[in-house]
C-alpha cells in the first residue's frame, strides 16, 4: 500500500511526464529532419478590382533572382480583413496590445477614402507614425506579407509589365530543408507562366 506522500510523488511524476509528451512530441515533429520541393499552379483574377490595393514587384540590387516586373492588385475590403487578422496574430505572438490593430487599420481606412487605388509602398510611408509604441516593421512589412497571402489563395490580379497584360495563372514553388531547431533553409518563388520570377524569398536559419 502506497503512502499518501508516495502517491503524491507518483502523481506529480505522471503529470510531468504527460506535459513532456504533450510539448515534446509536437516539438520533435516540427523540427524533425526533412526536405521538400512543392510546386503548384495558382489561378488568379483576370481583372483588377475597382477599389484595390496594389504593389509593384520587380528586380532590385538586393535580389538578383527576380527578373521581371509585375503589379499585384487585391480587392481593398478583402485585403484589409486579411491584414487585420494577420496583424492581430503577429501582435498576440509578440505580446503587443491588440488595441493598436484598430488604431492602425483606422488610419488605413482614412487613407483609403481618398484613393480608389492604394499603392502599398505609399501607404507604408503614410503609416510611419513615430507616436506608435511599436516598431514600424511590425505593421508596415505586414502589408506586403498579407498581400502575398492573398496571392497564395488566388485572390489577386497580376499584371505582367513586359507582356502588357494580366496573366491567368502563376506558378508557386516552395522548397527547403530542416535539420533541427534553428537549422534549415526555405525558398519561396513566384513565377509568371513564362517562367520569369517576380518574387524570390530565401530564409536561412
Residue 150 to residue 199: CA distance in whole angstroms: 14
Residue 59 has, within 13 A of its CA and on its CB side, a CA count of 8
* 151: number of Cβ within 10 Å: 20
Residue 87 backbone phi and psi in degrees, to 5: -70, -40
pTM: 0.81
Per-residue pLDDT of the chain (205 residues; tens, 9 = 90+): 556 666 666 666 666 666 556 555 554 555 678 899 999 999 999 999 999 999 999 998 888 899 999 999 999 999 999 999 999 999 898 888 888 898 899 889 999 999 989 999 999 998 887 677 777 888 889 999 999 999 999 999 999 999 999 999 999 999 999 988 778 999 999 999 999 999 999 988 7
Amino acid at each position: 500500500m502506497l503512502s499518501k506522500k508516495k502517491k503524491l510523488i507518483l502523481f506529480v511524476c505522471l503529470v510531468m511526464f504527460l506535459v513532456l509528451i504533450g510539448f515534446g512530441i509536437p516539438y520533435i515533429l516540427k523540427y524533425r529532419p526533412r526536405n521538400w520541393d512543392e510546386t503548384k499552379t495558382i489561378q488568379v483574377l483576370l481583372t483588377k478590382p475597382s477599389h484595390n490595393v496594389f504593389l509593384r514587384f520587380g528586380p532590385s540590387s538586393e535580389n538578383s533572382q527576380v527578373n521581371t516586373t509585375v503589379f499585384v492588385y487585391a480587392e481593398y475590403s478583402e485585403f484589409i480583413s486579411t491584414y487585420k487578422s494577420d496583424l492581430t496574430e503577429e501582435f498576440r505572438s509578440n505580446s503587443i496590445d491588440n488595441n493598436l490593430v484598430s488604431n492602425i487599420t483606422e488610419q488605413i481606412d482614412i487613407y483609403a477614402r481618398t484613393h480608389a487605388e492604394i499603392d502599398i509602398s505609399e501607404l507604408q510611408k503614410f503609416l510611419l507614425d513615430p507616436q506608435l509604441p511599436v516598431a514600424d516593421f511590425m505593421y508596415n512589412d505586414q502589408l506586403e506579407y498579407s498581400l502575398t497571402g492573398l496571392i497564395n489563395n488566388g485572390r489577386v490580379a497580376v499584371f505582367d509589365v513586359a507582356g502588357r497584360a494580366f496573366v491567368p495563372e502563376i506558378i508557386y514553388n516552395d522548397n527547403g530543408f530542416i535539420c533541427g531547431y534553428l537549422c534549415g533553409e526555405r525558398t519561396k518563388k513566384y513565377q509568371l507562366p513564362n517562367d520569369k520570377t517576380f518574387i524570390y524569398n530565401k530564409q536561412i536559419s
